[in-house]
Structure 1
Amino acid sequence: MTITPPELSVFESLESEVRSYCRGWPAVFDRAQGSWLHDEDGHAYLDFFSGAGALNYGHNNPVLKRALLDYLERDGITHGLDMSTTAKRRFLTSFQDVVLRPRELDYKVMFPGPTGTNAVEAALKLARKVKGREAIVSFTNAFHGMSLGALAVTGNAFKRAGAGIPLVHGTPMPFDHYLDDQTPDFLWFERLLEDQGSGLNRPAAVIVETIQGEGGINVARPQWLRQLAELCERRDMLLIVDDIQMGCGRTGPFFSFEEAGITPDIVTLSKSIGGYGMPMSLTLFKPELDIWEPGEHNGTFRGNNPAFVTATAALDTYWADGQMEKQTLARGDQVESAMRDILREHRDTKADFRGRGLVWGLEFADKSRAAKVCARAFELGLLLETSGPQSEVVKLLPALTIGPDELDEGLRITARAVRETA
């Protein structure tokens, strides 16, 4: 596919230099449906990006769109702060019946604001309030958001530097496999907790991603997560699971921590919880932790009612019968098989892959290779992004609703991009 660079002068002259994704995809997108985007010149692109995980059900999903249009056409509430609305009631009821109750999860639901970092800030604030301590433990290569509290528990040096001030009260520990399995899990963490001279203040909580998306698709083993949960309980620390990108079915089950059989004290959700790509986030926590005073954590956009509508439609359509998890795991097997084929074809190239469900990463010893693969994939009509601290991992994040033929087409393009950048 030959692509003529579009006229970008308006974006270059008026929009801030902070823009990023558009630099790797020099097109002006106009419409989208399912797993496809179309630019204003008529070129079609298969989407293995999914709005960084905000579009698990694809672009303009017809079921969710119909629910949204019906709600808007009857003049349903669009902005309601944290007032009680029929849309919120339907979402809460569906979330309890479809997600929480079948998993025996007794969580209170908080609407902290529109984005993932809002959910993380609320989780950190609540943990500190409950435990009366300031310190939070996070993990190497973690990413939890761009506001100051979330940045303090984020590992990426480039993103942390943007804060412009010291980021305090956060201490990183080695994520699973970080020390190449040469040291027993949590040996360093346990030693610091035991040693009165370690300099580690007693933590209020530990925050963790079960799979580090922005950090390079680093997958924590279920047994590692179970050990972490046991450590938190034994040391009187709350366990926060950041499921903002890996939740809502991305790894197969609705929550990414289900495979490990753990029950976090606090869970953060955003991205695809709204179903249609509209801003929405949740902070979930055990009832005994709900010690907020009314209005103590406030915000203008805590009640995105159109997102409640599409979120409810997504839950009722895709999660009520248990089929979505099975389909995602089957699609994951399809991706894994393709990744193995790529590695077999390039035996002379040091490469590795990892993932679960429909999130996968392909890493090369040559750390510049991932960006080249993504650039060539774009030329061939496929949207891929990089991840990892040095953008060294090709990240595959297709919609959960993608068909097997579309998935196979994207995987063939990925293989071709790898071949043509060798």
Structure 2
Amino acid sequence: MTITPPALSVFEALESEVRSYCRGWPAVFDRAQGSHMFDEDGHTYLDFFAGAGSLNYGHNNPVLKRALIDYIERDGVTHGLDMSTTAKRAFLESFQNNILRPRDLPYKVMFPGPTGTNAVEAALKLARKVKGRESIVSFTNAFHGMSLGSLAVTGNAFKRAGAGIPLVHGTPMPFDNYFDGTVEDFLWFERLLEDQGSGLNKPAAVIVETVQGEGGINVARPEWLRALAELCERQDMLLIVDDIQMGCGRTGAFFSFEESGITPDIVTVSKSISGYGMPMSLALFKPELDIWEPGEHNGTFRGNNPAFVTAAATLDTYWADSQMEKQTLARGEQVEQALRAICEEQSGTHFRGRGLVWGLEFEDKPRASAVCKRAFELGLLVETSGPESEVVKLLPALTISPDDLDEGLRTLARAVRETA
């Protein structure tokens, strides 16, 4: 496919230099449906990006679109802050019936604002309020958002530097397998907690991703997560699981921590919770932690009612039974087989992942970006992740067909071969 980059336009003339995705994908997109995007010149792209995990059910999913159109056409409430609305009630009932109750999860639901970093900020703020301590422990290569509190528990040096001020009250610890199995899990962390001379302030909480997406698709083992939960309980620290990108079915189960059998104290959810790519986030926490005063944490756009509508439709359509989880795991096996074949053919490559989040790592680190560039030229949208952008990250929609998934994997294999 021959693609002519768009000429100097209003994007270059008016938009800030901070823009990024458009640099790797130099096209002007016009339409999207399912797992495909279409630019204004008529080119078709297979989407293995899914809005950075915000479109788990594809672009313009017809079931969700119908629910949204019906709601708008009847003049349903669009903006409601934290007022009670029929749309919010329908979402909460669906979330309770389809997600919380079947999993015996006791969580209260908080709407902290429209984005993932809003949910993280609320979680950190609540943990500090509950425990009366300031310090939060995070993990190497973590990513939790771009606002100051979230950046303080994020590992990436480039993103942290953008804060422009010291990022305090956060302490990093080694993520699972950080030392390639040569050091006992949590040896360093627990030693610091117990040593009165370590200089580590007693943490209020630990925040963790079960799969580090931006960090390079680093997958925590279930036994590591269980040991972390036990350590938190033993040391009187709250456990926060950031499920913003890996929740909503991305790893198979609705919550990514389900496989490990743990019940975090606080869970942050965003990205695909609305189902339709509309801004929405949740902070979930055990009832005994709900010590907020009314209005103590608020935000103008925490009541995105159209997002409540599509979120309820998503849960009722895809999460009333276990079919979505089974399908995701089956598609994941399809991806795993294809990546294994690529790594057997190409030396210096490694793969890892769960469900429908996978990473293809290159020892020759700049090659990952070259693969993504060539994939775009071939009509496939994939991005890089990892601290040095050394991993090609695969995030196809959970609803992708086996044929489309196979086509994208063949295109990826071709891009890898042609950049060797």
TM-score with structure 1 length normalisation?
A: 0.99
Secondary structure at the aligned position of 1:284 is classed as strand
Shift of 1:9: 2.1
2:19 is equivalent to residue 27 of structure 1: no
Q: Deviation of residue 4 (structure 1)?
A: 1.1
The one-letter code matched in structure 1 to 2:402 is P
Task: State the match for 1:131 in structure 2.
Answer: 131
Residue matched to 1:358: 356
Q: Distance in 1 between matches of 2:59 and 2:263?
A: 32
Task: Quote the residue 2:93 is aligned against.
Answer: 93
Hey, what's the Cα distance between the residues in 2 that align with 1:115 and 1:330?
A: 30
Partner residue in 1 for 2:141: 141
What are the residue-to-residue correspondences of 1:294-309 with 2, within 5 Å? Answer: 294-309=294-309
5+ unaligned residues in a row in structure 2: which ranges? none
User: Per-residue displacement from partner, 1:34-54 (whole Å, max 9, x unpaired)?
Assistant: 000000000000000000000
Q: Alpha-carbon deviations, 1:5-56, whole Å to 9, x = none? A: 1224211110000000000000000000000000000000000000000000
Offset at residue 407 of structure 1 (A) = 0.1
Unaligned runs of 5+ in 1: none
Q: Which residue number corresponds to residue 392 of structure 2? A: 394
Please name the residue that 1:288 is paired with. Answer: 288
RMSD over equivalenced CA pairs, Å: 0.4
State the match for 1:375 in structure 2. 373
| Secondary structure of residue in 2 paired with 1:23 | helix
**Matches of 2:365 and 2:14, distance apart in 1:** 33
For 1:295 and 1:3, the matched residues in 2 are separated by 51
Aligned equivalent of 1:191: 191
1:153 aligned partner: 153
Q: Percent identity?
A: 85
The answer for the alignment partner of 2:383 in structure 1 is 385
Letter in 2 for 1:64: L
Letter in 2 for 1:140: T
The Cα of 1:345 is off from its aligned counterpart by 1.3
2:407 corresponds in structure 1 to 409
Residues in 2 aligned to 1:266 and 1:180: alpha-carbon distance in whole angstroms: 29
Partner of residue 47, structure 1: 47
The aligned amino acid for 2:342 is I
Tell me how far apart the structure 2 counterparts of residues 114 and 365 of structure 1 sit (CA, whole Å). Answer: 37
- Give distance in 2, aligned partners of 1:211 and 1:99: 21
SS in 2 for 1:362: strand
- Measure how far apart 1:374 and its partner are: 0.2
- Separation in 2, partners of 1:30, 1:350: 38
How far apart, CA to CA, are the structure 2 residues paired with 1:114 and 1:239?
Answer: 23
Q: Distance in 2 between matches of 1:48 and 1:353?
A: 16
How far does the alpha carbon of each residue in 1:362-408 deviate from its partner, in whole angstroms, 9 at most, with x for none? 00110101000000000000000000011000000000000000000
How far is 1:344 from its partner?
A: 1.4
Aligned residue runs from structure 1 range 140-219, under 5 A: 140-219=140-219
* Structure 1 CA distance for aligned equivalents of residues 405 and 197 of structure 2: 53
1:419 to 408, 417, 420: 417
Structure 1 counterpart of 2:69: 69
CA distance in 1, matches of 2:153, 2:345: 39
| Equivalent-residue separation in structure 1 for 2:7 and 2:271 (angstroms) | 30
Residue type of the alignment partner of 1:28? V
Cα displacement string for residues 183-220 of structure 1 (whole angstroms, at most 9, x for unaligned residues): 00000000000111111000000000000000000000
| Secondary structure of the corresponding residue to residue 207 of structure 1 | strand
Partners of 1:390 and 1:80 in 2: CA distance: 42
Shift of 1:322: 1.1
Cα distance in 2, alignment partners of residues 398 and 8 from structure 1? 31
SS of residue matched to 2:46: strand
Q: SS of 1:159's equivalent? A: helix
Q: Corresponding residue for 1:253?
A: 253
Aligned AA (1:49): F
Residue identity in the other structure for 2:403: D
User: In 1, Cα distance between the equivalents of 2:197 and 2:27?
Assistant: 55
Distance 2:373 2:360 in 1: 15
| Distance in 1 separating the partners of 2:351 and 2:31 | 32
4+ long deviations beyond 6 Å: none
Aligned residue for 1:109, secondary structure, equals: strand
Q: For the residues of structure 2 that align with 1:287 and 1:326, how far apart are their CA atoms?
A: 31
Q: Please give the alpha-carbon distance, in whole angstroms, between the structure 2 residues aligned to 1:356 and 1:321.
A: 20
1:269 aligns with 269
